[in-house]
Amino acid sequence: MFRITLPDGSVREVAPGTTPADIAAAIGPGLAKAAIAARVDGELRDIGRAFEGDAQLALVTSRDEADALELARHDYAHVLAEAVQSLFPGTQITFGPSTDDGFYYDFAPKDRPFTEEDLPAIEEAMRKIIAADKPLKRSVVARDRLIADWAAAGETFKAQWAAELPEGEELTVYSSGDDWYDMCRGPHLASTGKLDPAAFKLTRVSGAYWRGDQNNAMLSRVYGTGWLNKKQLDAHLFKLEEAAKRDHRKLGNEMDLFHLQQEAHGSVFWHPKGYMIWRELEAYMRRAIDAAGYREVKTPQVMDARQWEQSGHWGKYRENMFVIPDEVPNVEDEGPIVSNDAEWMALKPMNCPAHVLIFRQGIKSYRDLPLRLYENGCCHRNEPHGALHGLMRVRQFTQDDAHIFCREDQIVAEVQAFCALADRIYKDFGFSYSIKLALRPEKRFGTEEMWDKAENELRDAVAKAGLNTPEYGWEELPGEGAFYAPKLEWHLTDAIGRTWQVGTIQSDRVLPDRLDASYVGEDGERHRPVMLHRAIFGSYERFIGILIEHFAGKLPMWLAPVQAVVATIVSDADGYANEAVAKLKAAGIRTESDLRNEKINYKVREHSLAKVPHLLVVGKREAEEGTVAVRSLGGEGQKVMPLDEAIEWLRGEALPPDLC
């Protein structure tokens, strides 16, 4: 008999062959119906998989949403694969995992790549499989037999995958009814009928290389989103629709902020209006860091490869760096461009080694610490073409980067002060956030003692700042730290509930040691400083992209590139409109005029699309009375007021947060 311990501490003795479903049925019919899977000794398993010995058991229901969604999405992927093979005979299956909001499956079609026109038919076939309520059964198959079965069925990709696994290993297979199966670790729901046929939608088709290698065959990847019920699906689709409206690339074009093109792949062409947003953010951040005791520096774009080798980046980050020869020799046209013995340089992917070099200039005393060096540092990283995405992921970017060199006894206070600064800045932009602690990765520099100290210092600082609470989503992330330091991460929540990892602070003892940074202590001896790497925006490019989407282009007035437009109804008001623009500009309000011979409704629509906060409409009457009719973006109707009163009101609206 096996002893099965339940969450309440009670123990049930059961015979071999008993399953979690049997225990759920023994407890009661309600639980038997609700239970969809089980956690056995912490491992998520099929509800119908028999116990293998004494175990701790927790039954999983749809109320356990994270587990239930993972199971459902995994099942949707299998149902997708079965549906595609039923519709398109000869199609080979490969991989089909669940994702954060759904699932996908990669296929090798027999005749042609799939297109989005195929999706409605595939969805209908999936619903038929769900309606058939086909049992999903787990079985263990010998590796060699499974390879032979896949090969006989013409499934060359599956046969290759199975052949890469260790010899003699037993593999698990899940069958859907009697006529379809896939190799899979599981777990799965008990049957396809446990899925809600109205809670999924196929979303798009794209190309994907087998095993992610561009040297391999091109496959067709079908994406879908899957949920536990239609209400969840509808909410997700609404969010996707809203996200599409807020897409910073679309709004950036409509608002004439920036563009990207092949001639500078992964770099941004900022237009005057877009760069005005940048300048306002830069000025805001400078006021914040000046008040917090930082000293701004500027460091070179290109540094010798030996410096990057010494810092450790050459070995850990080389594939992401742009490398150039120190000198290109004079050669004949037919000769090599670069000689083999060339000295190598690299565009900096980060600012930290350069800041250490500034710290090392001159002798530093313990009295000089903490030393806070800040830089709006332009960096370059060789991101793959397929990973680039508007402003969110680029190859050239500028960080609001700073490094705090401090003594051991100053670390917690400095991190706590940074937490307060980040809190103020994020709240100025209307963001809520959560904080995560990313812990030591498997591959890292430094001793275990150094990592223990660094992780505990970050924990202590967050606790003293009062931020290690459920309200701030406090969580520890094993293995996700940098190779040289653990880090605190700030995850912002935007207006439609998406999260963005932006700010960080890292407690680093490795780089000061590798780059020989030191200060003279009170004892007259040399000591290593601790180096706190920190950023709040992360990068200006990405933060501007997030702001555009968060505000749906309707930026706070102090950030808006054009804060007001004076638009005429009739040409007789042109002179007054120009006078009004001059007064508004003199008051520091970024203003343009619109004197075109167009109807006022056309002008209103156009400036609303450009997300101008305030439109000041003037006609013959306003010119005679010295007034303006103010239409505010997102507001209803208009308000007529004297021009001077409107200017004072707009000046107040245009003040940055720290000046209000």
Q: Which residues are annotated as a binding site for Zn(2+)?
A: 352, 403, 533
Residue 352's pLDDT band (cuts 50, 70, 90) = very high
Which of 487, 590, 611, 614 is catalytic? The answer is: 487
The pLDDT tens digits of the residues spanning 202-240 come to 999 999 999 888 899 999 999 999 999 999 999 999 999
What confidence score (pLDDT) does residue 329 get? 60
Is 184 in contact with 15 (CB distance < 8 Å)? Answer: no
> Is 379 marked active-site?
no
Residue 324: how many CA atoms within 13 Å on its side-chain side? Answer: 12
Q: Indicate if the pLDDT at residue 602 is higher than 50.
A: yes
Domains and CATH numbers, the chain: 2-61 (3.10.20.30), 66-240 (3.30.980.10), 292-326+343-388+396-549 (3.30.930.10), 564-659 (3.40.50.800)
The pLDDT tens digits of the residues spanning 550-591 come to 999 999 999 999 999 999 999 999 999 999 999 999 999 999
Which of 352, 440, 527, 594 is catalytic? The answer is: 352
> Is 401 marked active-site?
yes
In whole numbers, what is the pLDDT of the chain averaged over residues?
Answer: 93
Torsion angle in degrees (nearest 10) through CA of 108, 112, 116, 118: -90
What confidence score (pLDDT) does residue 645 get? 97
Least confident of 117-121, 382-386, 630-634: 382-386
Is 534 in contact with 403 (CB distance < 8 Å)? Answer: yes
Which of 381, 440, 534, 603 is catalytic? The answer is: 381
Chain-centroid distance, C-alpha 386: 15
Residues 353, 358, 364: CA angle, nearest 5 degrees: 120
> Is 352 marked active-site?
yes
Q: Indicate if the pLDDT at residue 371 is higher than 90.
A: yes
Q: How far apart are CA 399 and CA 648, in angstroms?
A: 35
Q: Which residues are annotated as a binding site?
A: 352, 403, 533
Q: Is 632 exposed, middle or buried (0-12, 13-18, 19+ CB in 10 A)?
A: middle
What confidence score (pLDDT) does residue 341 get? 53
List the strands of the sheet with 530-535, edge to edge: 295-296, 371-380, 396-406, 530-535, 499-508, 487-493, 432-438, 475-477
Which of 85, 399, 416, 506 is catalytic? The answer is: 399
The partner residues of 162 in beta bridges, in order of sequence, read none
> Is 236 marked active-site?
no
| Backbone φ and ψ of 463, nearest 5° | -65, -45
What confidence score (pLDDT) does residue 660 get? 46
Global pTM? 0.83
Q: Indicate if the pLDDT at residue 332 is higher than 60.
A: no
> Is 355 marked active-site?
no
What confidence score (pLDDT) does residue 334 get? 52
| Backbone φ and ψ of 414, nearest 5° | -65, -40
What average pLDDT does this structure show over 77-99? 95
Residue 328's pLDDT band (cuts 50, 70, 90) = low
Which of 39, 533, 534, 611 is catalytic? The answer is: 533
What average pLDDT does this structure show over 391-419? 96
> Of residues 312 and 161, which shows the higher confidence score?
161
**Tokens describing residue 574:** 């042109």
Q: Indicate if the pLDDT at residue 339 is higher than 70.
A: no
Which of 46, 196, 400, 401 is catalytic? The answer is: 401
What share of the chain in percent tops pLDDT 90?
Answer: 84
> Is 644 marked active-site?
no
* Closest listed residue to residue 342, CA positions, set 322, 323, 328, 331: 328
Ordered DSSP codes for 201-269? EEEEEEEEEGGG-TTS-EEEEEEEEE-SSHHHHHHHHHHHHHHHHH-HHHHHHHTT-EE--GGGTT--E
The partner residues of 103 in beta bridges, in order of sequence, read 98, 224
* Closest listed residue to residue 53, CA positions, set 25, 17, 23, 26: 17
> Is 419 marked active-site?
no
Is 391 in contact with 247 (CB distance < 8 Å)? Answer: no
